[in-house]
């Protein structure tokens, strides 16, 4: 949540309000110290249910805005709205105050128990990164709900609740201070995403890496390859024409059959390059436009093996019989004979 707010604010806004950020971190530490001192003096925490509801609501809303609209986030929002709705009912309640207090605590206990149970189950079954931390957090929520149930609805005498609030405030303040110190050491002109808190332990870091083309074998020979570009009839007259080949995957021979790798290169000028995606192709006329898709989505590492014998096992005989020459000629035509002369290694 704190990282998201800093990214949305930007570097200029953080520079302008750097004193306010430092005071916010210090105020969180001071409030945690006051709660700890209050518990140490008389063993009670002077906090009302409405203040606790406000803290829970802010925490859950920030979790929801953190960019992951998962089921756990929606359950957090649902439980917080149920609890706040119960407090709103309490504002217009004209009956016995003790009954209202029991209702509020019953709702809080059910929300904490259900949310903690779901968090533990989802963390144990899915086991994503840092799943153990979420599992322990769910166990803590269930323990807190059980303590509230067996404490006789005594909010002020619940020491576990005070410890939970102290831990929440310390985590909030220390995170702000750590990011603030890292940002101060960041050189001028660099992005906030270069901070260590954004780079280390990012579960989507693999998706942020640039896509790299799979290299060809180093011991392969180099020879010219004639490339014939297929183009749909409906697109042939449109200008400007773009003859772009990202990478060849398969070749259509004179019989309308598909082959890949070294076998495709053996056809020479008698074969036609097709950016064929490695997916099942239905023997239908509508499937032909999907044969010439280009881009990294069709690239599969290791498809081009060092030898022809190693590639034979990966051929798809059913696909080679699914497209006939008549269908090929009816829907596609060759633009340029050859369209390009490319020297490649494979």
pLDDT, tens only, 237-253: 444 444 333 334 455 55
Asked whether the beta carbons of 122 and 72 are under 8 A apart, the reply is yes
257-307: pLDDT as tens digits: 555 555 555 555 555 544 444 444 444 444 444 444 333 444 444 444 455
Residue 23: pLDDT band (50, 70, 90) is confident
Position 90 scores a pLDDT of: 63
Position 150 scores a pLDDT of: 72
Position 284 scores a pLDDT of: 47
Cβ neighbors of 47 (< 8 A, separation 6 or more) are 155, 156, 161, 165
Most confident stretch, 38-47, 187-196, 258-267, 325-334:
38-47
CA dist 60 to 24, 80, 107, Å?
Answer: 19, 7, 16
Specify the DSSP element, H or E, that contains 342. strand 340-345
Position 210 scores a pLDDT of: 44
Asked whether the beta carbons of 124 and 135 are under 8 A apart, the reply is yes
Residue 232: pLDDT band (50, 70, 90) is very low
| Paired tokens of 47 | 């906090």
Nearest to 275 by CA among 233, 314, 244: 244
Rounded CA gap, 314 and 291, in Å? 18
Position 55 scores a pLDDT of: 62
Cβ neighbors of 315 (< 8 A, separation 6 or more) are 259, 260, 263
Position 35 scores a pLDDT of: 77
Out of 39-48, 104-113, 181-190, 334-343, pick the least confident: 334-343
Asked whether the beta carbons of 237 and 211 are under 8 A apart, the reply is no
Position 67 scores a pLDDT of: 43
Position 119 scores a pLDDT of: 76
Out of 109-118, 121-130, 283-292, pick the least confident: 283-292
Rounded CA gap, 285 and 250, in Å? 19
CA dist 325 to 16, 53, 58, 233, Å?
Answer: 69, 71, 65, 16
Residue 91: pLDDT band (50, 70, 90) is low
Task: Fill in the DSSP letter of residue 11.
Answer: H
Task: For residues 154-172, give the mean pLDDT.
Answer: 65
Residue 308: pLDDT above 70? no
Strands 250-252 and 258-259: antiparallel
Give the alpha-carbon dihedral of 125, 129, 133, 139, to 10 degrees: -10
Task: Fill in the DSSP letter of residue 39.
Answer: H
Specify the DSSP element, H or E, that contains 227. strand 222-227
Residue 29: pLDDT band (50, 70, 90) is confident
For the chain, what is the total number of helices (H) and then of strands (E)? 13, 7
Residue 198: pLDDT above 50? yes
Most confident stretch, 73-77, 162-166, 171-175:
171-175
Which class for 189: exposed (0-12), middle (13-18), buried (19 or more C-beta within 10 A)? exposed
Sign, Cα dihedral of 286, 292, 294, 297: positive
Per residue in 27-56, is it b (16+ CB within 10 Å) or e — as a string? ebbebbeebbebbeeeeebebebeebbeeb
Q: Where are the domains of the chain?
A: 2-198, 222-296+303-345
Asked whether the beta carbons of 145 and 112 are under 8 A apart, the reply is yes
């Amino acid at each position: 949540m704190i990282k998201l707010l800093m990214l949305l604010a930007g570097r200029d806004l953080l520079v302008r309000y750097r004193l306010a950020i430092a005071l916010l971190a210090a105020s969180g530490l001071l409030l945690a110290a006051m709660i700890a001192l209050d518990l140490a003096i008389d063993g009670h925490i002077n906090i009302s249910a409405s203040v606790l509801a406000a803290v829970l609501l802010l925490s859950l809303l920030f979790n929801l805005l953190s960019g992951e609209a998962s089921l756990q986030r929606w359950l957090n929002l649902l439980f917080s709205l149920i609890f706040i709705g119960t407090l709103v009912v309490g504002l217009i309640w004209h009956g016995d105050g003790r009954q209202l207090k029991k209702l509020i605590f019953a709702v809080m206990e059910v929300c904490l128990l259900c949310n903690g149970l779901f968090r533990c189950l989802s963390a144990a079954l899915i086991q994503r990164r840092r799943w153990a931390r979420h599992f322990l957090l769910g166990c803590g929520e269930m323990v807190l709900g059980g303590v509230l149930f067996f404490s006789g609805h005594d909010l002020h005498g619940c020491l576990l609740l005070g410890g939970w609030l102290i831990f929440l405030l310390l985590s909030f303040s220390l995170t702000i201070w750590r990011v603030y110190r890292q940002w101060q050491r960041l050189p001028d002109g660099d992005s906030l995403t270069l901070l260590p808190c954004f780079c280390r332990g990012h579960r989507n870091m693999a998706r942020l890496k640039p896509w790299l083309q799979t290299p060809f074998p180093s011991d392969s020979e180099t020879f010219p390859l004639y490339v014939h570009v297929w183009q749909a009839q409906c697109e042939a007259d449109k200008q400007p024409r773009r003859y772009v080949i990202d990478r060849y995957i398969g070749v259509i021979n004179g019989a309308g059959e598909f082959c890949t790798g070294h076998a495709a290169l053996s056809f020479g000028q008698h074969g036609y390059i097709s950016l064929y995606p490695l997916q099942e192709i239905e023997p239908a006329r509508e499937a032909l436009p999907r044969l010439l898709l280009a881009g990294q989505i069709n690239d599969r590492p290791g498809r081009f093996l060092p030898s022809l014998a190693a590639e034979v096992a990966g051929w798809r005989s059913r696909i080679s019989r699914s497209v006939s020459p008549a269908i090929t000629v009816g829907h596609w035509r060759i633009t340029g004979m050859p369209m390009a002369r490319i020297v490649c290694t494979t």
